[in-house]
Copies of this chain bind each other. A is one copy, B any other.
């Protein structure tokens, strides 16, 4: 699969795909006779993995370390697991934080609904108190 198609399929620009390869986030992609990138099944799986991890905010640098360990073979399995455990931990914290803020937003929206209702009813003394 050509880079343009991969870009289309995963919603990642061709520039970004090349950048990922350059910095080692994705190992060198398969090329055709002319030296042009021709993503095979494995390459696509790697792109998909990286896409997910990046969307979740895992730092490029951490992912580079991880990918480099994968390249070094089975002996690095323990170190790779450590990275995943650490990132899982970070992710969990992040989710908890976001859920807290979601609650705050929900509350604020409710308050606004009440205020707007009052304003609609012409109660202009519905001084907001919301920030």
A interface residues, Cβ below 8 angstroms from B: 45-46, 49, 52-53, 55-58, 70, 74, 77-78, 80-81, 84-85, 87-88, 91-92, 94-95, 97-102, 104-106, 108-109, 112-113, 115-116, 119, 126-128, 130-131
Contacts and interface: CB of A to CB of B under 8 A. Distances in A.
Nearest to A75: B119
A69 to B, nearest CB: 10
Nearest to A106: B88
A28 to B, nearest CB: 15
A102 B91 contact: yes
Contact of A127 (B70, B74, B108): B74
B92 A131 contact: no
Contact of A105 (B55, B87, B113, B115): B87
